[in-house]
Amino acid sequence: MIDLSFFSGLPVAVLGLGKSGMAAARALQAGGGEVWAWDDSEDQRAAARAAEIPLVDLNQVNWQEVTSLILSPGIPHTHPEPHPVVVAARAHDVEIIGDIELLGRAQRNARFLGITGTNGKSTTTALVGHILQLAGRAVAVGGNLGTPALTLEPLDLEGVYVLEMSSYQLELTRSITFDVAVLLNISPDHLERHGGFEGYVAAKRMIFHRQTKPRSAVIGVDDETCSEIYSALKAADEQEVVPISGQRIVPGGVYVEDGVLIDDMDGARVPALDLKEIASLPGVHNWQNAAAAYAACRAIGVDAPVIAACLRSFPGLPHRQEILDVIDGVPFINDSKATNAEAAAMALACYDKIVWIAGGRAKEGGIAGLERYFPRIVHAFLIGEAAEEIAGILQGQAPFTLSGRLEEAVPAAAAEAARHPGAVVLLSPACASFDQYRNFEIRGDAFRDLVAALPGERGDVGAAFSPEGAS
């Protein structure tokens, strides 16, 4: 736990008692702060009572007495409209910050490596943490990845905090200047929380806040928005700027050519490793993640051969193109984290014959942009609120079944895949989970359990499936 004793004796409000909010309340309480915690959910308040966290209704307090408001990132503070507690705090000039800001204030001597992007940031964060740990660095990994920042261990001057940063978290973090900041990609997402695409881009750009040389900005240039940001930062010449790409040559950066990771950071075009040999990193999007992790770790001081060796042993992350099992020759792939069309596209691009399980609660834009992958879909099994909407788009393009729930979709998908040699069963919903599951992790775990219950002969994942055939 991080020491927050600089708040000792001071009233501090905490709004939102999910994982990060509870961790903040506990750390503040342990540091001697006078915690005023609140959540609009009675269930969350009950959990706080059980943990002996002091509850105070923040809708009815004297804000002149409060030092700071620690806001959970899921609570709106600007768009579509700020939470009433935020409005009251702001009216009394109370600072509004997040838990990662507290980590930055408490651990000023450590180094910080931040990673953001619309897609791929969890995998890249895990990759960087994996490399630094195997390289013998003192490292703590958390943030949006799932481990609350204030539950991490304190680090000394040589330690590195590797933090996945959402756009929400970036807006609530002011003190941290990242020694290495990674921006992978930007596509429309969470627009209602940022007042539109420009606000979303502005939030993502905050990862580079106050960076000066020798600090480094690692930027994916495979989308137009990030390519423009790269050009602007390169022209400003305030920090070291390293371009990365999963699909094209970028002089002076790290990129992938025919599946081979090329290190051109020193202008030498050194082939670092063949990513096609790493089953846990299939597809161009994961190649971009690998390029970003490689560049970030080089920028933080890890030797190139060490990085390459560590990448080879990366086990992958749950719910992100996770190969669960091979049954009667059919791979079952859990990509529950694909909660929008762009994320699903990254998985659909990897396999030639797909029995696709999709659906849930539709996000803005639905499955627009996935049309070019329809010829790969031998059959789709559709679940959740968006099932009929997706069916209407697939009509005449790919065969489909309205399954409704995973319990019906999985055995039917297994039977269908058996009729198509070389097919995979892919759960890549292109939708949020909230219609049937509390989060994408629970949805992915349900898929895992259903796959485990299927009859059939189990095969070796590494031998039966390789990403070499991925396009």
Which residues have a catalytic role annotated?
121, 144, 190
Residue whose pair of structure tokens reads 């390519």 in the numeric block: 227
469: left (phi over 0), alpha (psi -120 to 50) or beta: alpha
Q: Are 353 and 379 in contact (CB under 8 A)?
A: no
Distance CA 413, CA 24 (A): 43
213: left (phi over 0), alpha (psi -120 to 50) or beta: beta
Which of 349, 311, 316 lies closest to 334, judged by CA?
Answer: 316
Q: Which phi and psi (to 5°) does residue 113 adopt?
A: -125, 115
Which of 28, 35, 36, 37 lies closest to 4, judged by CA?
Answer: 28
Q: Which phi and psi (to 5°) does residue 402 adopt?
A: -85, 95
Which of 289, 265, 263, 292 lies closest to 278, judged by CA?
Answer: 289
Structure tokens at 4: 């927050």
Strands (E), 147-209: 160-164, 180-183
Q: Are 17 and 33 in contact (CB under 8 A)?
A: no
